[in-house]
Amino acid sequence: MTTPNTRSLDEIRGALEHCYSAMETLCADLSDDEWQTQSLCPDWDVRGVVDHVVSIEAVMAGWLPEDDTTLPPFERAAEFFADTSPYVEKMRAVFDRRRRDLAALSSEDLDRPSWMPVGPGTYGRFLQIRVFDIWVHERDITTPLGRATDDTGVPAEMALAQVENSIGYIVGKKVGLPEGKSLTFDLTGPIVRQLHVAVDGRAKRVDHLDNPDVTVTTDSTTFIQLACGRIDPQAQIDSGAIRWQGDDELGDRAARNLRFTM
Q: What was the pLDDT predicted at 135?
A: 98
Domain endpoint, select from 107, 125, 154: 154
Q: How far apart are alpha carbons 37 and 50 in whole angstroms?
A: 12
Q: What is the mean pLDDT of the chain?
A: 96
For residue 217, give the nearest of 181, 193, 249 by alpha carbon.
Answer: 193
Question: Across residues 143-158, what is the average pLDDT?
Answer: 97
SS3 assignment, position 231:
coil
Position 4 scores a pLDDT of 42
pLDDT of residue 2: 38
133 and 236 inside one domain: no
Average pLDDT of the segment spanning 190-218:
97
Residue type at 211 in one-letter notation:
N
SS (H, E, C) 19-51: HHHHHHHHHHCCCHHHHCCECCCCCCEHHHHHH
CA 7, 1, 223 angle in degrees (round to 5)?
90
The secondary element (H helix, E strand) that includes residue 234 is helix 233-239
Q: How confident is the model at residue 1 (pLDDT cuts 50, 70, 90)?
A: very low
pLDDT level of residue 261 (50, 70, 90 thresholds):
confident
- Evaluate if residue 35 carries a pLDDT over 70: yes
Question: How much is the pTM?
Answer: 0.95
CB neighbours (10 Å) of residue 37?
Answer: 14
- 5 has a pLDDT exceeding 90: no
Q: Is the predicted pLDDT of residue 145 greater than 60, yes or no?
A: yes
Both 140 and 29 in a single domain?
Answer: yes
For the segment 61-113, what is each residue's pLDDT rounded down to a tens digit?
Answer: 999 999 999 999 999 999 999 999 999 999 999 999 999 999 999 999 999 99
* Helix pair 220-227, 153-164: axis angle to 10 deg: 50
Q: Is residue 1 part of a domain?
A: no
pLDDT tens by residue, 100-130? 999 999 999 999 999 999 999 999 999 999 9
Q: Which domain holds residue 174?
A: 166-256
Residue 262: inside a domain: no
Beta carbons within 10 angstroms of residue 219's beta carbon? 18
Q: Indicate whether 189 pLDDT > 80.
A: yes
Residue 39 to residue 35: CA distance in whole angstroms = 9
pLDDT at 239 over 50: yes
Domain count, the chain: 2
Given a cut of 70, is residue 11 above it in pLDDT? yes
Whole-number Å distance between alpha carbons of 199 and 183: 9
The dihedral through the CA atoms of 141, 144, 150, 152 has a sign that is positive
Tell how strand 214-218 and strand 192-199 pair up. unpaired
Region 227-247: mean pLDDT is 98
Question: Under DSSP, is residue 256 helix (H, G, I), strand (E, B) or coil?
Answer: helix
For residue 20, being part of any structural domain is answered with yes
Indicate whether 235 and 136 sit together in one domain. no
